[in-house]
Chain A
Amino acid sequence: DAKTTQPPSMDCAEGRAANLPCNHSTISGNEYVYWYRQIHSQGPQYIIHGLKNNETNEMASLIITEDRKSSTLILPHATLRDTAVYYCIVRPSIIQGAQKLVFGQGTRLTINP
């Protein structure tokens, strides 16, 4: 079962920052927060991941609260091509055996012109 809670849908105006929240109140110390997105008719695309520090790459920023029970994915200047379903996933660090990504329902983000 997914260990995260996300709003089912959000809207954002083109050019503005899109802030996507995720709750993961049962996260444990060795679990990472991953974000993927899925544009219509495509496979999921990796965006970013983090453990406890904030992270930034060319696609987005990830802000993780100090208690690690929630996080926010920030798309700084949203474009129409950012319209997609965004998945927040909690994933264990490298351990023996399977390393499965368990997807929930995600947030359907719509960028409006």
Chain B
Amino acid sequence: EAGVAQSPRYKIIEKRQSVAFWCNPISGHATLYWYQQILGQGPKLLIQFQNNGVVDDSQLPKDRFSAERLKGVDSTLKIQPAKLEDSAVYLCASSLLVGSPLHFGNGTRLTVT
């Protein structure tokens, strides 16, 4: 099966600019996750969708981060405006059901200068 697709692979922006990441999960996977991974740390969950509804966004900095899942399939994560501390790899993952193992994409590496 095709894996989780993410784009772009790399992005460099200046602080205060905006940026968007795109994720296409594995076909048929109902649950979608966005994680942030800062260099040297484990991934941290930002938001979890079940179909097109938000299940958990408790760690999403909502003043600057937003995410949506279009028609319960693709998802976009946006940062506006970006800060230096947002430099990280943004990972998208999907699972068939809540509780199933997660399948991760290879992430988007964001550098904010």
Does B15 sit at the interface, judged by CB under 8 A? Answer: no
Number of interface residues of B (CB under 8 A): 22
Closest to A49 in B: B101
B44: chain A residues within 8 A (beta carbon): 103
Q: Does A50 sit at the interface, judged by CB under 8 A? A: no
Residues in A whose Cβ lies below 8 Å from that of B45: 100-102
Is A100 in contact with B106, judged by CB distance below 8 angstroms? no
- The residue on B at minimum CB distance from A99 is B98
Interface residues on A, range: 20 to 34
Contacts of A87 in B (CB 8 A): 42
Measured between C-beta atoms, what is the minimum distance from B101 to chain A in Å? 4
- A44 engages B43 (CB within 8 Å): yes
B window 17-70: CB within 8 A of A: 31, 33, 41-45, 48, 55-56
1/0 contact trace for A37-72 toward B, CB 8 Å? 000011111100100000000000000000000000
Binding site for A on B (CB under 8 A): 4, 31, 33, 41-45, 48, 55-56, 91, 93, 98-99, 101-107
